[in-house]
Amino acid sequence: MSTNPSTPSEATLQAFADMSAALTGFQSSFIRPFLDPVNLSGTFYSFAVSQVGQPRMDALLAAFNNLNNQNPKPTPQQIADTLLETSLDAPSLQAQLCQSIVAMWYLGSWYTPGVLGGNGFAPPALQVITSQAYTKSLVWNLAQAHPMGFSPFVFGYWSQQPASLQTFGVDTGNGGGQ
Amino acid sequence: MSNGASPQYDVVIVGAGVSGNLIAKQLGLAGKKVLILEAGLPVPDSREEYMNNFYLALAKTPESPYPALAGRTGSQQNPVGVLPDPSKLPTPRATVLSIGKAPDVSYLVQAQPWIETHDPKLPPQNPPPDANGNIRGLQFSSTFERNGGGTSWHWLGTSLRELENDIQLQTKYGHGVDWPITYPELQQLWALAEKEIGVAASTAEQEPLEVVGLVYPTGYQYPMQSIPMSTVDDAVSKGIAGLQVPGTLPDTPGGSDPTMYNVFVTPTPQGRNSEPYDDRRVCAGNTNCIPICPIQAKWDPTVTLGKALDTGNVTVSYQSVAYNVAVDGTNATRIDYYVWSRDANGNLTKVSKSVTGKIYVLAAHAIENAKLLLMSNNWNGIANSSDQVGRNLMDHPLYLSWALAPEPLFGYRGPLATSGIESLRDGEFRKYRSSFRMEIGNEGWNFSKGDPYTTALDYIQGTNNTGTNDGGPNGAPQRLAGVQLAEKLNNILTRQFRIGCMFDQSPMAENRVTLDVTNGKPNNVDGLGLPRPKVEYGLDPYTMEGFRMAAYVCSQVYQKMGAKEFTTTGMGSAGDFTYRGVNYHYYGAGHVVGTHRMGNESGSSVVDASQRSHDVPNLWIVGSGSFPTVCTANPTLTLMALAFKSADSIIAALGS
Amino acid sequence: MKKTITVILLTVVAATMVLMTSIPTTMAPAQSNPAIVLSPNIPGDATFGPLPTNPTNEQKLLAIQGDFDIYSWNTFIALNWPPGPDGNGDPNKKIGQNGDNDTVWEHYRDVADIFLPGGATPSWNGPETVPTQCKAFYKPGMKILSQVGKTPTVLTDFSQPFNTGPLIDQNGNYTRYDILVNKPMFDYILANKLYSKAGQQAFKSEVQFPCGGPTGPEGAIMVKSSWKVISPADRGRFHTQTVLVYNPASQNPKYAASCSTKLMGLVGLHIGHKTDSGAQWLWSTFEHVDNAPSEADIGSNNTLKPKTYNYYNPKCSTKNCPPNQVPPRPWNPTKLSAFHSQIVRMNMFKGNEFAFQSAAARNADALQLLLGVNSKSVWRNYELISTMWPTNTGKCQATPGDPLGTPAPNFLANTTLETYIQGMVPNVSSNCIECHNNATMTNAKASDFTYILQRAQ
């Protein structure tokens, strides 16, 4: 365990990762695998804190942990719908933060919470978080493809049907994930 | 020569792009001493820096890997990052992000877009046509690079040959002008270019296009097997089986072509490796050809530059901006250029130098070539007795349409485009309207809507910027989470595809590049104090009638496939126009041609078929600027083919 | 018990456990601690010790990286062991016992002798191909260290992959490269006729080289070596060979073929090994300790000490000798080059500090063992840079959905072999697995992470 206050603890990072898995619909192993040499969870956690402050992140993780520890345990879909407030007309600040967290995983970039696009255009991103945040971004898995500029596939793959959405990491069984 | 001394080089070439590098290589192999003056920065030792620029770019436009970069921080004010000021750059160039902007952002000085200048009290509208039915004051929307390797760092790789009738548009159809070169000669030259680049295709697969006049010499073999078609290509191909469209729509001005043309898909000859070739890797489908192939499976001009340098007879002087070609009597005698650098504080400094050669070659891109010719001789211009330098500026204006297929067809995979509809490129209708080819994109709605970002954010945030998110109560957008969000995005993204139609735009003398000066003073300069190019551009009814047809054909394709079209136009940005009551939007294809066109008559053309100046016998002006018409194929293959011919003529002119 | 638990986890959780059939999980029983040993036995695969309790991500990575680095050193030692008559390491000898020695891997098959003109059938034991221009130099019985009974190595290749550039030493000599494969790899190529274009065309399956296992024999191994011209005075510091340096004729740049005898020292060694835990192969890379200073060394002015580097001149300023520049073209290896490469080892382990920590610890352990054999062992001058291994993979096959196996560390380069792509840009900076994933046969079909098959004629 690190004693450096700015390095989040294992438990905090795991909670952030589990919450991210629920919010994004991906299996935990795609968010924070058992061995994680890329450590996007750490990068994204720290970046989000740098943007919204530690108290807001702590409050969000506390809300997640409360949900996650309920008995019976809600499904990842229920957790996601609750935190992202999909049934409300106007999402709260915390739900907007969750939207930005989903966007980090899907798109590799930070979008200011609550800033919407318009006139046919997406909202502006503040920045691409890191080059690896882009090359590991997950929206391309939702297309059953790969980030433009980073193909892990071999010649001719584009003439074949891709692997399933589940193979690309989405928790389609909806009962899995932790 | 300026003082009787021998020229320092056999040949001085301005520009290390496709043409410049190819000619340098050929000359170097023939033992000639060559200097290339390249305005921009050197070819980097690896493409790490360029790829990193791309990964971190907020807007992944064609220019995004290459200097000068947009800022990496976005805001409401600068959603794609702060854009550099061309007046402070040594080698500013046209960029996608600067289209429609004022000269403090846009290198090309263009008329301010109509939507920015017309009375805000009036409802949004597009510029009206003039007395000839032409719409003037439109933005020229194609861009280029100024660095070692040049613009074709980010060419797509499409290596189609022109059609027989492309190069005789005037003789066959009474429109435009003919090329001063024969098809058989071009066939020989294309074969050389296809080998240099490494084009992957099969003539057997191209046979169905004999109907539009694409023929190969008997027994011709491409260097490599063809690139497999994508799942998108397959879906389109199967979905449109049997589709036919007429040559012209009813009420086409000038006449009609009621012939029914078959609409079918063929694989595209491409300059990317389908086998290990030339010490480069096989394509891995990074889907990033534009702006940059991470593994150089796609040929780019730095490959040829490497071979030119291998001869030992070629030197490149980087950061060397030519600004004057001195002509003494009839011959060019030297080139003056600035060598620029930045001091320890980042300030731009320049030193003026000169160099002499027996022969001079301008290979700086269609717009920069024109600018250099016009700037030379104290801005009186050279090599321009025809008054055609800078005129007849053309592009392939691009009409983009997009749709959702009924079933997943899995875009975002493979090279950016692997097939097209080429079967409508020729016919009687060319008397009445522009022809076009149709490029099937493999990248979903990336070009069309900035996807997958826009769609993802639509469903995360509950907006409808893409047009698909209207499934909530009363057509409201949905806001989703978790697996439901993931599955919804999967459903949409895997069905996205787009078609881009590229038009054989008419040559028009009033579409032109000039120097942005008034009363002998530049209105806008670059960081070296050189005047900026002013561009005047517009579309004629012939070309716009082509748009009308293309919109119809695309809709027919989508209808036949059972796909739902989502094309929007009239977004209130540069590139909008109205034709016969319908709003359209054009993009630039990056195919800049015409500004120093070739021809047999010195009164109406700038160079001959070898791209040698009619006026200045030791000056060659090369590149797509020499094209008299833009034709129907992407220009890179043909411009390299012409460069082979130019190289031969230069070697002959040098004698032994 | 462990198996049952593993099975339950596999069916219940679509998460971590399905991936880790070879690499230990918290559920695996403690194994005996792997260690670097002086042994001629080539490991068939890495073996794993227990993980710390309640480990952080970093601690897990450090522990497992350590196991792979131990595997790498054991492989290095075994491959560089003096061979017996059957080509295997001689159990009656020790590595470096006489300073330098002939090695097992140098009796592997050179790729030049596998991919023959006309696609001719190669053999494991046949004579090496000696180009015409070299025949004049080779005389039977010529005393060449470590070449007893064997025709000398012919070194030809001088440019780094994809013709990105040569590496030129401080005397203007080009560095040379050589690739050899072991018998299992050779046998697979032979059996499936992958040594010719026609054979590759006719092959209708997927190329799958054999995997080594933790207790079994080794899998396919390919070795790529880099060599520098040295003077006899340098012998004690390098593993050396007297070789024939052959330059085939070139059209562009234009020069005639030539051959000469040279004393060369080993400066770099890549070992690629296909194993159960390395479906994307395990990639170990070693360098001579004098190759180049690191970024950090230069920053702290350590290079002011009079240390001699193989590829760096401490007396030349950064302004006059900007580091890691590709030599200007044309590249003509038949002549001494005026341009000398000035190489610096860049830090490619930012965010992956465990790689650096583990290599340093394992290098210290190995050095002690090697010095224990002979304080003048040439092998004391070699160090492990790191081992790249897939963190997410199945037993001898990729996990669906992760063809690259999420390698650790994220980037890895040998300054003599990937000189000009020492960076941290995905898909471009040196990453063994990412780059080799693009490897194909001559017909563009995937070749299981090796580029050698595209040499087939």
| Band (B524; pLDDT cuts 50, 70, 90) | very high
Which residues, at least 6 apart from B323, have a Cβ–Cβ distance to it below 8 Å? B336, B337, B338, B372, B375, B528, B530
What are B273-307's pLDDT values in tens digits? 999 999 999 999 999 999 999 999 999 999 999 99
> Structure tokens of C187?
């046998």
Mapping DSSP to helix (H, G, I), strand (E, B) and coil, where does residue C278 land? strand
Mean pLDDT of B83-99: 97
Count contacts between B and C (CB, < 8 Å): 76
All residues of chain C having their beta carbon less than 8 Å from the beta carbon of residue A39 are: 57, 351
Model confidence at C4, pLDDT cuts 50, 70, 90, reads: very low
- CB contacts of C326 in chain B (<8 Å) are 45
CB C351 within 8 A of CB C61: no
Instruction: Report residue B77's pLDDT band, with 50, 70 and 90 as the boundaries.
Output: very high
Judge: B52–C443 Cβ closer than 8 Å, yes or no: no
Percentage of chain B exceeding pLDDT 70: 99
pLDDT higher than threshold 80 for residue C400: yes
CA pair distance A175, A171, nearest whole angstrom:
8
pLDDT score of C19: 36
Q: State the chains in contact with C (3 or more Cβ–Cβ pairs under 8 Å).
A: A, B
Q: Do B283 and A155 touch (CB under 8 A)?
A: yes
Cβ-Cβ contacts under 8 Å, C392 against chain A: 29, 33-35
Q: How far is it, in rounded angstroms, from Cα C111 to Cα C131?
A: 14
Tell me: pLDDT of C156 over 50: yes
pLDDT score, position A7: 83
Return the residue in B281, B286, B303, B483 with the most chain C beta carbons within 10 A, the one to mutate for interface testing: B281
| Residues ≥6 apart with Cβ < 8 Å to B418 | A158, B227, B228, B229, B230, B233, B267, B268, B270, B440, B442
Residue in chain C lying closest to A32 (CA): C16
What are chain A's partners, defined as 3 or more CB pairs within 8 angstroms? Answer: B, C
On chain C, the residues whose CB falls within 8 A of the CB of A2 are 56
ipTM: 0.96
Q: Say yes or no to pLDDT of C5 above 90.
A: no
**Would you call B226 an interface residue with chain A, using a CB distance cutoff of 8 Å?**
no
| Interchain pair B452, A143: CB under 8 A | yes
Mind giving me the DSSP string for C140-160?
Answer: TT---TT-TTSPPPEE-B-SB
> Looking at residue C317, what is its pLDDT?
86
Q: Which positions in chain C touch A166 (Cβ < 8 Å)? A: 14
Predicted confidence (pLDDT) at residue C7 exceeds the cutoff of 50: no
Supply the angle between the helices B482-493 and B453-461 in degrees, to the nearest 10: 150
Q: What is the pLDDT of residue C9?
A: 34
* Smallest Cα distance from C72 to chain B, Å: 28
Residue C359 token pair: 């290599």
For residue B344 the two structure tokens come to 């320890």
pLDDT for res B116? 76
> Residue A155: its chain C contacts at CB < 8 A?
440, 444-446
Task: Give the angle C308-C314-C315 at the CA atoms, nearest 5°.
Answer: 120
More confident call, B550 vs C148: B550
pLDDT at position C126 is 84
Nearest-angstrom CA–CA distance, C23 and A6? 31
Q: Is the confidence at residue B523, as pLDDT, over 60?
A: yes
Q: Average pLDDT over chain C, rounded to whole?
A: 89
Angle between helices A10-24 and B482-493 (to 10 degrees): 50
Structure tokens at B21: 């590098």
pLDDT confidence of C154, banded at 50, 70, 90?
confident
Instruction: Inform me whether the pLDDT recorded for C27 exceeds 60.
Output: no
Nearest to A39 among C25, C351, C446 (CB): C351
* B168 closest CA partner among B230, B213, B227, B117: B213
pLDDT at C17: 35
pTM of the predicted protein model: 0.95
Phi, psi of C360, rounded to the nearest 5 degrees: -60, -45
Give the pLDDT confidence of B575-619 residue by residue, as tens digits: 999 999 999 999 999 999 999 999 999 999 999 999 999 999 999
- Predicted confidence at residue C252, as pLDDT, reads 96
Match 């020989």 to its residue by tokens: B188
| Inter-chain CB proximity C252 and B281 less than 8 Å | no
First and final C-alpha spacing in chain A: 22
Mutation for A interface: C11, C57, C454, most A CBs within 10 A: C57
Q: What are phi and psi of B61, to 5 degrees?
A: -80, 170
How far are the Cα atoms of B57, B428, B566, C69, C72 from residue C44, in angstroms, in the given order? 45, 71, 57, 14, 11
Cβ of A120 and B465 within 8 Å? yes
Task: Determine whether the interchain pair C428/B46 forms a contact, defined as Cβ–Cβ distance below 8 Å.
Answer: yes
Residue B44 sits at the chain A interface (C-beta within 8 Å): no
Query: Is pLDDT above 90 for B5?
Result: no
Residue boundaries of the structural domains of chain B = 9-66+86-654
The verdict on whether omega for the bond into residue B452 sits within 30 degrees of 0, i.e. cis, is yes
* Residues B378-402 pLDDT 10s: 999 999 999 999 999 999 999 999 9
Under 8 Å between Cβ of A44 and A110 = no
Q: How confident is the model at residue C136 (pLDDT cuts 50, 70, 90)?
A: confident
pLDDT confidence of residue A3: 45
In 3D space, the residue among B386, B427, B590, B432 whose CA is nearest the CA of residue B500 turns out to be B590
Q: Name the residue ranges covered by the structural domains of chain A.
A: 10-159
Which CATH class for the B9-66+86-654 domain?
alpha beta
Query: Which chain B residues are within 8 Å of C328, Cβ to Cβ?
Result: 309
Please tell me which of the candidates A33, A169, A171 has its beta carbon nearest to residue C16. Answer: A33
Over residues C54-112, the pLDDT tens digits come to 999 999 999 999 999 999 999 999 999 999 999 999 999 999 999 999 999 999 999 99
CB C46 within 8 A of CB C31: no
**In chain C, what are the domain boundaries?**
1-28, 31-455
% pLDDT > 90, chain B = 95
Residues A150, B99, B318, B300, CA torsion sign? positive
Mean pLDDT of B241-258: 97
Structure-model confidence comparison of residues C248 and B636, the more confident one: B636
- pLDDT of B121 reads 79
Cβ contacts (< 8 Å) between B473 and chain A: which residues?
A: none
Q: What percent of chain C has pLDDT over 70?
A: 88
Q: Do the beta carbons of residue B12 and residue B357 sit within 8 Å?
A: yes
Whether chain A has a CB inside 8 Å of the CB on B285: the answer is yes
Identify the pLDDT of residue C14: 36
B167 contact partners, CB below 8 Å, separation of at least 6: B178, B179, B181, B183, B186, B629, B631
pLDDT digits (tens, 9 = 90+) for C198-247: 999 999 999 999 999 999 899 999 999 999 999 999 999 999 999 989 99
Other CB atoms within 10 Å distance of the CB of residue C353: 14
pLDDT in tens, B31-68: 999 999 999 999 999 999 999 999 999 999 999 999 99
* pLDDT band, residue C305 (cuts 50/70/90): low
- Other CB atoms within 10 Å distance of the CB of residue B330: 11
* CA dist., res. B315 & res. B27, Å (int): 12
Q: Tokens for B412, please give them.
A: 């975002």
Q: Per-residue pLDDT tens, chain A, 178 aa: give them.
A: 444 456 899 999 999 999 999 999 999 989 999 999 999 999 999 999 999 999 999 999 999 999 999 999 999 999 999 999 999 999 999 999 999 999 999 999 999 999 999 989 999 999 999 999 999 999 999 999 999 999 999 999 999 999 999 999 999 875 444 3
In a 10 Å sphere around its CB, with 0-12 CB exposed, 13-18 middle and 19+ buried, how is residue B462 labelled? Answer: buried
**H helix intervals, A25-138:** 28-31, 40-52, 54-68, 76-84, 93-107, 131-135
Q: Check pLDDT > 90 for residue B228.
A: yes
Contacts of B39 (CB under 8 A, 6+ apart): B15, B90, B91, B146, B147, B319, B320, B321, B322, B364, B368
Nearest CB partner across the interface for A150, out of B286, B479, B571: B286
Q: Which of A35, A45, A171 to mutate to test the interface with C (most CBs of C within 10 A)?
A: A35
Residues in C touching B310 (Cβ below 8 Å): 252-253, 329-331
